[in-house]
């Protein structure tokens, strides 16, 4: 049996499948495999700018009698609408783990809410061939006044499980969540991290055919996130399907086979996880930080930087980069007519948002000399395996004469552009420490020798 959710806000049982316009690469699946999720021409529209003041029936009647013309004008007023999703089409097959990525406001959570039947589509149709368990927000499907134990049964019943099914999985749920000591404490006294641990444990262990997980895992600590990712991998190996929304590109790359990139409510790309991540990171705008009109620069002005770009190894302009990615910093410059310069030092700094320096790089460190400069152009610095954890950083730059030996500047700006870094698989392990554990990532190898005597320095 399959369940179909239609744009006319009705839910029916659909016994037959028609032809589906799909953006997926069906060649990676068996020809006779039936999709467990089919989305056809899905759109969701919201009305904005409406008067949301709720009144009693008597107040409404009184207002209509007192101001009939005003009431008529309000009915005839054109309401503004916003399309959170527009003409979405894709298919997901049993056992797949599919990532959904995109900027904030791209429509990711709206899509999951429709798939979870929390809200209805305005247009289009979704066909689901299996029971869906969702983890979209902390506390979804839980009651704050009930204890952790009671909420396991309560949420399990919401997901359509029988009491016996819940009891069979109860011990596993409790062990995974790590809240055994607080099982009989009301949920309202749980921290947000404890709530999400319990919510994920219930959703993942009650054996849904389709597991839908939003960025809510970001609430948990690093250890629990790793457990959750492992559990989702186990769920997929059991033949069940996972839809996973995350800004953690390392998790998307390691956990998912495919990914869907959403941009402004529309599908920008569907393909392998690595290709989708590359499409997501490529700038949706021009990606150039123009500095031409900036007046907060210092220096004598013979040469000055007029724009900054960040590009990947293939030359694509980026507005977001991943930890461990090879990137290029492009500093576009203009030189005054009739001026010729040599022995120029060009460098840039990367600082945290609080202004804490992380690193400095300039051409003297790399032993690169640009020779004579008498035309406009671009300075390019290639950074291998960017060693930064997820955060937004500040880029500053400087151009100095005489290889920087004089301490004077042609042009300098302390904060010229942002460098936005998202989690990437820097270590190849799917785990990247957060910036709270350090402002840079170090590539290292560990080894052990057994049977070694204690160092003489330690024994003293």
Rg (CA), the chain: 28
Q: What is the DSSP letter of 406?
A: S
pLDDT of residue 9: 40
Counting beta carbons within 10 angstroms of the beta carbon of residue 81, is it exposed (0 to 12), middle (13 to 18) or buried (19 or more)?
Answer: exposed
Choice among 88-92, 220-224, 368-372, 399-403 with the minimum mean pLDDT: 220-224
Q: Rounded distance, CA 410 to CA 242, Å?
A: 55
Residues 339, 344, 348, 349, CA torsion sign: negative
Instruction: Read off the pLDDT of each residue in 306-322 and give the average, rounded to a whole number.
Output: 90
Q: Is this structure's pTM higher than 0.95? A: no
Choice among 186-195, 211-220, 241-250, 446-455 with the minimum mean pLDDT: 211-220
pLDDT band for 199, please (50, 70, 90 cuts): confident
Tell whether the model's pLDDT for residue 295 goes beyond 60. yes
Q: Rounded distance, CA 400 to CA 329, Å?
A: 18
Is the Cβ–Cβ distance between 236 and 203 less than 8 Å? no
Choice among 1-5, 110-114, 200-204, 252-256 with the minimum mean pLDDT: 1-5
pLDDT of residue 139: 60
- Pairing between strand 377-383 and 391-400? unpaired
Tell whether the model's pLDDT for residue 80 goes beyond 50. yes
Tell whether the model's pLDDT for residue 285 goes beyond 90. no
Tell whether the model's pLDDT for residue 6 goes beyond 80. no
Residues 403, 409, 410, 413, CA torsion sign: positive
Kindly report, residue by residue over 150-197, the tens digit of the pLDDT: 999 988 887 777 888 889 989 988 988 888 899 999 988 988 778 888
Q: How far is CA 104 from CA 236, 245, 247, 281, 337, in A?
A: 27, 11, 9, 13, 44
Tell whether the model's pLDDT for residue 31 goes beyond 70. no
Q: Which of left, alpha, beta for 203 (phi over 0: left; psi -120 to 50: alpha)? A: alpha
279: part of which helix (H) or strand (E)? helix 273-281
Nearest to 88 by CA among 13, 25, 135, 38: 38
Instruction: Read off the pLDDT of each residue in 66-89 and give the average, rounded to a whole number.
Output: 71
pLDDT of residue 298: 94
Question: Which of 384 and 142 is assigned the larger pLDDT?
Answer: 384
What phi and psi, each to the nearest 5 degrees, are found at residue 363?
-70, -20
pLDDT band for 19, please (50, 70, 90 cuts): very low
pLDDT of residue 1: 44
Tell whether the model's pLDDT for residue 383 goes beyond 80. yes
Q: Which residues pair with 322 in a beta bridge?
A: 422
Domains of the chain: residue spans and CATH: 3-130+209-281 (3.40.50.300), 289-437 (2.70.50.60)
- Pairing between strand 132-135 and 210-213? parallel
pLDDT of residue 70: 59
Instruction: Read off the pLDDT of each residue in 237-259 and give the average, rounded to a whole number.
Output: 84
196: part of which helix (H) or strand (E)? helix 192-205
pLDDT of residue 290: 83
Q: Which residues pair with 418 in a beta bridge?
A: 394
pLDDT band for 306, please (50, 70, 90 cuts): very high
- Pairing between strand 289-290 and 303-312? antiparallel
Kindly report, residue by residue over 108-117, the tens digit of the pLDDT: 989 988 998 8
Kindly report, residue by residue over 424-443, the tens digit of the pLDDT: 888 887 777 878 788 889 88
Nearest to 93 by CA among 32, 42, 168: 32
- What average pLDDT is seen over the chain? 81
């Amino acid at each position: 049996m399959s369940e179909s959710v239609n744009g006319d806000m009705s839910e029916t049982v659909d016994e037959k499948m028609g032809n589906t316009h799909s953006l997926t690469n069906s060649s990676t699946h068996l020809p006779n495999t039936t999709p467990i999720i089919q989305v056809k021409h899905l759109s969701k529209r919201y009305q904005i700018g409406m008067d949301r003041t709720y009144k009693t029936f008597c107040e409404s009647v009184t207002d209509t009698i007192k101001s009939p013309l005003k009431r008529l004008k309000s009915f005839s007023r054109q309401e503004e609408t916003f399309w959170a999703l527009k003409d979405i089409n894709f298919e997901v097959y049993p056992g797949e783990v599919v990532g959904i990525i995109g900027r904030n406001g791209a429509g990711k959570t709206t899509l999951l809410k429709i798939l979870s039947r929390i809200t209805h589509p305005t247009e289009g149709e979704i066909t689901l061939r299996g029971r869906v368990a969702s983890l979209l927000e902390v506390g979804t499907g839980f009651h704050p006044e009930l204890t952790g134990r009671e909420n396991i049964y309560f949420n399990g019943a919401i997901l359509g499980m029988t009491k016996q099914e819940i009891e069979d999985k109860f011990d596993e749920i409790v062990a995974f969540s790590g809240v055994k000591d607080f099982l009989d404490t009301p949920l309202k006294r749980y921290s947000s991290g404890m709530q999400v641990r319990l919510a994920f444990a219930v959703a993942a262990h009650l054996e849904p055919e389709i597991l839908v997980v939003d960025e809510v895992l970001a609430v948990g600590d690093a250890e629990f996130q790793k457990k959750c990712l492992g559990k989702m991998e186990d769920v997929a190996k059991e033949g069940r399907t996972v839809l996973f929304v995350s800004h953690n590109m390392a998790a998307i790359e390691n956990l998912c086979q495919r990914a869907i990139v959403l941009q402004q409510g529309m599908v920008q790309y569907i393909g392998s996880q690595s290709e989708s991540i590359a499409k997501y990171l490529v700038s949706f705008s021009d990606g150039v930080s123009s500095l031409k009109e900036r007046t907060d620069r210092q220096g004598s002005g013979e040469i000055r930087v007029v724009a900054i770009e960040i590009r990947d190894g293939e030359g694509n302009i980026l507005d977001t980069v991943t930890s461990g990615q090879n990137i290029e910093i492009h500093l576009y410059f203009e030189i005054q007519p009739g001026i010729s310069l040599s022995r120029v030092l060009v460098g840039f700094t990367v600082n945290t948002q609080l202004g804490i320096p992380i690193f400095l790089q300039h051409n003297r460190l790399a032993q690169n000399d640009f020779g004579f400069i008498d035309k406009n152009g671009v300075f390019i610095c290639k950074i291998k395996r960017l060693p930064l954890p997820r955060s937004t950083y500040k880029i500053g730059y400087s151009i100095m004469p005489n290889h920087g030996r004089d301490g004077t500047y042609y042009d300098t700006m302390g904060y010229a552009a942002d460098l936005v870094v998202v989690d990437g698989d820097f270590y190849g392990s799917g785990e990247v420490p957060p910036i709270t554990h350090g402002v840079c990532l170090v590539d290292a190898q560990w080894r052990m020798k057994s049977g070694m005597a204690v160092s003489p320095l330690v024994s003293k």
